[in-house]
Amino acid sequence: MLMAEESHITFRNITKTFPGVLALRNINLEIKHGQIHALLGENGAGKSTLMNILYGLYHQDSGEIFLDGEKYALNTPKNATAHGIGMIHQHFMLIPNFTILENIMLGQTSPKPPKLEKDYFRKEILKVSAKFGIEVDLDLLVEEVSVGMQQKVEILKALYKGAKLLILDEPTSVLTPQESQELFKMLHDLNNKGTTIIFISHKLNEVMQISDTISVLRDGEVVATLPKSQTSQEELSRLMVGRNVNNKYDKASEPIGEEIFRIDNISLHDPHNKGRFLLKDISIQISKGEIVGIAGVDQNGQEELAEIICALRAATFGNLYMCRHDVTNSTTRQLIELGLSFIPSDRRNQGLVMDFSIAENTILETHYQKPFTRGFSLQPQVISDYAEMIVKEYDVRTPSINVPVKNLSGGNQQKVIIGRELSRNTRFLLVMQPTMGLDVGAIEFVHQRLLKARQGGMAILMISTDLEEVRKLSDRILVMYEGKIIGQADSTTSIEKIGMMMAGFFQ
């Protein structure tokens, strides 16, 4: 140690429980002045919980926080702001139909009440913006600007309120790669001007790129705090999940079996513009024991195709066949009874009922069938046993099957869905974005389960915007662009070539 850097925030023995879940256990952590300090960990490791305690959204059950060496007892968001702590949440706290200026001055006391004094605020905000080199057009409506710009507004808002410590919760999860790089540059600039930054992430490469010090959290404990110079991605990844992560899969090549599902010349009109097609002449055949991957940039018709397959939307033209039966006009329930399983992209809104318990969520499609229902009544004991089985089999980390799924981390929520969908008599599985927002450990778990299902003879259609994922898992890759299948590839095709196709270039 050449010089003793001063501590900005110190956590001492912080413990926090949610009902039945120990979210944080005896956290001891020191954040030093003028550093970029990353909190790295899987979903549910406790990173956000710890920061929410600092910002005052939650309260610790026990333990203390010290700010600049002094005890910081009253943690409320208001007090946090007064003490120069600013937090940028994963989901922005902005009012879409207010201008950027109005959003930043919101909640500030006007110098001459009851007048708003917008011009005074404009001057003050511009001063801050010039000092930190953050350029925004104050007169644009928030809903008009890009997500990256909205994030800038959030940061400027926090700085304007006098933040000397910025907490960013998974800031890149909503950004494009270019926007992420801009953000990193901005954070470096801020840091050079003396702002301490706490950066919450589960992405190893980002953490390695941006931080000075990295603390790894696992299961509510700090497992290590390391200077960046003394660690590597491999070490961090091991610390994060507690074991080595496998990046390649052994795919036993199976003889491809009979056709299970066929999409035959499906087209879909744009309901708002009859001349335009959202989907055009899509034909895909999925056979027993194979994973067909659909790669493509988001919003190129994937969502619509999935909805048509699940009978949630009718195609304008074309037919669907399942096990050689025409199912074009079947209902969702009929398809499910024929052996369709669906893992949707938006698990919170499409896949789960967040207020229901795990047990209730495991019978979402099958609750009316035997053995879950006998006569007129649901069978609570049978349902509990079934849920226990899924929780055990799919390694859902939860104190009980009676916990509402909204209290689970994203990875565990996804495990509930996957367990439910794979525990049925499934012949054809449609998967969308199966690992979006999950951490390394959960991603590998999901991938292994999909490969196991394939081994078991399931026909799987996987739609994902994650090209790596599609390449790793699929036997065949189809590339979708503007509602059409514009090319075929397989796992040997280079990323660059598939990337070109995804961008609409093809031979």
Partner 1 sequence: MSETILSPGSQTSIKARFFVFARNNLGIISVLISLLAIVLALLIGAILIAIAGINPWEAYSFLLKGSFGNRYGFGETLTRFIPLLFASLSFSIAYKSGFFNVGAEGQIYIGAIGALLVGAYISNLPPVLHITLTLLAGFVFGALWAGIAGLLKIFLGSNELVNTMMLNYVAIFLVEYLIHGPLKDPHLFIYQSSPILSSARLPIILPKTPLHAGFLIALASIVIVFYILYRTPIGYQMRTVGANLRAAKYAGINIVGVTLVAIITTGGLAGLGGAVELMGAQFRMVAGFSPGYGYDGIGVAIMGRHNPVGIVLAALLFAIIRVGTGAMQRGAGVPFPLLSVIQGLIIIFVIASSYLISKLSETTIGGRA
- Residues near partner 1 (CB under 8 A) are 13, 15-23, 44, 46, 48-49, 58-64, 73, 310, 312, 331-336, 342, 344, 349-356, 360, 363-365, 367-368, 373, 376-378, 380, 406-409
**Measured from the CB of residue 349, what is the shortest distance to partner 1 in angstroms?**
5
The DSSP bridge pattern shows strands 62-67 and 7-18 to be: antiparallel
Token duo for residue 365: 């499609």
Shortest spacing between CB 375 and partner 1, in angstroms: 9
CB neighbours of 372 closer than 8 A, spacing ≥ 6?
363, 366, 378, 379, 382, 383, 386
Looking at residue 306, its amino acid is A
For 253-284, the three-class secondary structure string (H helix, E strand, C coil) is CCCCCCEEEEEEEEEEEECCEEEEEEEEEEEE
Residue whose CB is less far from partner 1, 234 or 385: 385
Tokens of 488: 């075929």
DSSP state of 246: P
- Is residue 26 within 8 Å of residue 13, measured between CB atoms? yes
CB 160 within 8 A of CB 126: no
The CA-CA-CA angle for residues 486, 490, 496, to 5°, reads 70
Strands (E) across 288-331 are located at 291-295, 317-322, 325-326
d(CA 254, CA 249): 14
The H-or-E segment that residue 189 falls in is: helix 177-192
21/480 with CB nearer partner 1: 21
Nearer to partner 1 (CB atom), residue 108 or residue 332: 332
> Contact 29/23 with Cβ under 8 angstroms?
no
Give me the least distance between CB of 467 and partner 1, in Å please: 26
* Residue number, 319 or 407, with CB nearest to partner 1: 407
Comparing CB distances to partner 1, the nearer of 131 and 397 is 397
* Total residues found in the chain within this entry: 507
Shortest reach from residue 301's CB to partner 1, in Å: 19
* Closest distance to partner 1 from the beta carbon of 330 (Å): 10
* Number of other CB atoms surrounding residue 290 within 10 Å: 22
Q: How many CA atoms lie within 13 A of 212 on its CB side?
A: 15
Instruction: Name the minimum Å distance from CB 281 to partner 1.
Output: 26
With b for 16 or more beta-carbon neighbours within 10 A and e for fewer, the 391-404 pattern comes to beebebebeebebb
Secondary structure letter of residue 5 according to DSSP: P
Taking the complex as a whole, how short is the minimal distance between the CB of residue 11 and partner 1, in angstroms? 13
Pick 305 or 336: Cβ nearer partner 1: 336
**C-alpha to C-alpha distance for 188 and 190, rounded to whole angstroms:** 5
Cα of first residue to Cα of last residue in the chain, in angstroms, is 59
CA distance 76 to 87: 12
CB of 89 to partner 1, least distance (A): 13
CB of 376 to partner 1, least distance (A): 6
User: In angstroms, what is the minimal distance from the CB of 265 to partner 1?
Assistant: 25
Eight-class DSSP state of 336: H
Alpha-carbon span 261 to 239, nearest angstrom = 42
* Cross-strand pairs, 487: 479
Q: Which is nearer to partner 1, 16 or 218 (CB)?
A: 16
Closest contact distance (angstroms) between CB of 355 and partner 1 is: 5
d(CA 46, CA 58): 12
Nearer to partner 1, 28 or 62 (CB): 62
Cβ of residue 409: shortest distance to partner 1, in angstroms? Answer: 6
Nearer to partner 1, 163 or 200 (CB): 200
The smaller minimum CB distance to partner 1, of residues 194 and 376, is found at: 376
* 10 vs 409, beta carbon nearer partner 1: 409
Return the number of the residue (7 or 330) whose C-beta is nearest partner 1.
330
